Amino acid sequence: MKINSGHEALTDDQLLALIDPTRLPRHVAIIMDGNGRWAETRGLPRIAGHHEGIQSVRDAVTACRELGIYALTIYAFSMENWQRPQDEVKELMMLLEGYLQKEMPALMEHRIRFKTIGRIHRLPDSVVHWIREAESATSANDQMVLTIALSYGGRAEIVDAILKLYDDLQQGVFPRESVDEALVGQYLTTADLPDPDLMIRTSGETRISNFLLWQMAYTELYFTPTLWPDFRRRDFLLALIDYQHRERRFGQVKTPPHPRRKVRQG
C-alpha cells in the first residue's frame, strides 16, 4: 500500500498538518544508509556522503524535538563496519568527533540527552573522550534522548546481556524464576528507552543489519529508496504519516470499528 502517493504536491506545513500529534511514535530508530552511493553517483569520495548525511541527522533530531518524539536512535557505525577500508573508518571517526564537538551547544540548548550504545571501548581514545563529555554534560537533559549506535551489533548486545545476567544469577541477585522478558530488557543497553515504534531504513535495502534485534520485535518498519544524505525533514514527515496509517496489532485481532450488524432472522 502506498500511503504517501499524492503527497508530493503538499508543502511541509501541509504535511505537518496531516500528522496526529496524539499518535506519534515515542521512539524512532533509523538505519542511515546510502551515504557511499550518494557520493559515488556524484563522482565524490564516499566520505563526502557521510559529511552530507550529518545535515540529515540534524533534520531528524530537529523534527523529533519539534514534534515531541521522545527518543531517536540512529545507527552510525556497526560492528561489521570495522571491516571497511581503514581510511574510511578513520575518516568516519574524525567526522564523529567533529559532530560531537559541534552539536554540544544545541544538545544543551534543547535539553537533549545524548547517549551511545555499542562497544564504545573499540573507538579511538579521542572519540571516547568526546562521547563521555557529551554523555555527562547532557545527562540531566529531559526533553529528548538522542542515542547513537556506534560499534554496535544487536547480537553482541544480547551476548553482553546474557553474560551480565548470568553473573547476577550466580551471585544470587535474583532467583532464576524471576528471569522474564522485562528483566532481560533491563540488561540491554536500551534499558532506559521504550522499544522503537518506528524503524526507518534509507537507501532501498530492506534488511535489519544487526540493529536492535531484541527491541524491534514489534516495531513498524519503513523502507525508502531515498539515500540518507537526501533524507531530510520532509522525508521524515512522510515516514511519520505512513506510520500513522499502520494498524499495530501486537499479535491480537483487529478491533471491529463498528458493532456487528445483527443477522436478520427469518
151 contributes a contact to ligand IPE by CB under 6 A = no
Q: How far is the CB of 30 from ligand IPE (least distance, A)?
A: 8
- Tell me how crowded residue 1 is: count the other CB atoms within 10 A of its CB: 7
Could you confirm whether 12 is annotated as catalytic?
no
Q: Which of 4, 59, 81, 141 is catalytic?
A: 81
226 touches ligand IPE by CB under 6 A: no
Among 81, 128, 133, 213, binds ligand IPE (CB under 6 A): 81
| Gap between the Cα atoms of 147 and 115, Å rounded | 5
The answer to whether residue 78 forms part of the interface with ligand IPE (CB under 6 A) is: yes
Whether the CB-CB separation of 150 and 96 falls below 8 Å is answered with yes
70 with 27: CB under 8 angstroms? yes
Q: In angstroms, what is the minimal distance from the CB of 161 to ligand IPE?
A: 21
Binding mask 34-63 for ligand IPE (x = CB under 6 A): xxxx--------------------------
Angle at 118 between CA 169 and CA 206, to 5 degrees: 110
Between CA 144 and CA 194 the distance in angstroms is: 12
Cell of 156: 553482541
Q: How far is the CB of 142 from ligand IPE (least distance, A)?
A: 27
User: How many CB atoms neighbour CB 48 within 10 A?
Assistant: 18
Site residues for ligand IPE per CB under 6 A: 31-37, 75-78, 80-81, 92, 203, 205, 207, 209
